[in-house]
Structure formats: C-alpha cells, structure tokens
Amino acid sequence: MNAATRFAAVCLCIAFLANPALATVDDAFSFALQAAEPYVKEGFTIREDYWGGDLAVKTQKAVIHQLFKGNEYWFWMGTDVEKATISVHVYDSDGNLAENDHWQKPHFAAAHVKPKTTGSYYLIVEVEKSDQVRTHWALAYGFR
C-alpha cells in the first residue's frame, strides 16, 4: 500500500467512524428491534437484514418486498427521534392496503399482514411529524 492509498484509507475510516448518520440508523434499528422483542415470544423469527435511512417530515419511502401466503408477518419501524411520529403500511401489488393491523407510538410503528397471495408487496414508510429536519428510521421484519 503506498502513502497516498494509506492516507485515503485512513480518511475513509475517519469519515466512517465520524458519520453520525450511520450511528443514528443503527440507533433507529435498535428501536425497531425493541418493538419486535415481544413478538419473538410469540414465535416470530426476526430477520437480520433491514432497511434504513433518513426522511424529512411528510415524506415517504417505498420498499418492494416478497411475501409468502401462509406466513404471517410483522414489520417494525423504529426511530431514535423521540418526538417523531412515524408510520409503516403494507400494500399489495395492485396498490390495495393489505395489512391486517397497525399501530404507532413514540419511537415506533408497526404493521401486521397475513398475505392473501404470494408475491411482491409495497411497504410505505413515512415520517408524519418530527422536530428534526431529517429523521432517521429503520425497518425490520419477522415472520412465522
């Protein structure tokens, strides 16, 4: 490794460690896992992989996700911003609301779905209210 490459690698490491955005998505993920915790006792398997990012108030992101008929799913969204109101909802590939239930509370939101068909579903996440310009969020899911 030459000096220039070494310097670039050190800068990259510093940028990575100092990037608060990465830390806060991790924090948001911790909240999502906290929301998921009671469901593990009910037999839900929580996936290691998750989605995350940051959003301005009243903006949404969509995720396309494969669901299997016969399984039951919970999607748990978390944020580290206490005063934020966040939401997650599930739509089928025709754009119809597919969830069986949903809830919201400080730091958390969740949606429950028992898919009527196997296929692609749209998960819509939103920051409805927040005292931050950008609100970090993470979305985890579990199935049984």
Partner 1 sequence: MRSPAILSLLLSAGVCLGDQPPRHIDIGEGRLPATLIEDVVVPLPGEVFTALDKLGSPNWHDVLRPTAPQMERRPQIALELGAVIAEGFIAVEAKDAEQVKKIGRDVLTLANALNVRKAVIERTKSITDAADQKDWAKVRDELDKASHDVSQAMSEMQSQTLSQLVSLGGWLRGTEALTTVVGRNYSRDGAELLHQPGLLDYFQKRLGAMDRHTRGDELVAMIQKRLPEIRPLIEKPGEIPAAAVDQIHSITAELVKAVNSREM
Smallest separation (angstroms) from partner 1 to the CB of 19: 14
C-beta closer to partner 1: residue 65 or 134: 65
Nearer to partner 1, 20 or 70 (CB): 70
Nearest distance from C-beta of residue 107 to partner 1, angstroms: 11
- The torsion angles phi and psi of 25, rounded to 5 degrees, stand at -65, -40
User: What is the chain's alpha carbon radius of gyration, rounded to the nearest angstrom?
Assistant: 17
Question: Hey, which residues does 137 pair with through a beta bridge?
Answer: 53
CA atoms of 90 and 111, how far apart (whole Å): 7
Shortest distance (Å) from residue 14 CB to partner 1 = 15
Site residues (CB under 8 A) for partner 1? 45, 47-51, 53, 59-66, 68-71, 85, 87, 89, 91, 93-97, 99, 101-106, 109, 117-120, 122, 124-126, 128, 141, 143-144
- Closest to partner 1 by CB, 43 vs 131, is 43
Q: Which of 69, 82, 48, 61 lies closest to 115 in space, CA to CA?
A: 69
Closer to partner 1 at the Cβ: 80 or 99? 99
Write down the least CB distance from residue 34 to partner 1, Å. Answer: 14
- How far apart are the two ends of the chain, measured CA to CA in Å? 48
What is the rounded distance in angstroms from the CA atom of residue 75 to the CA atom of residue 80? 17
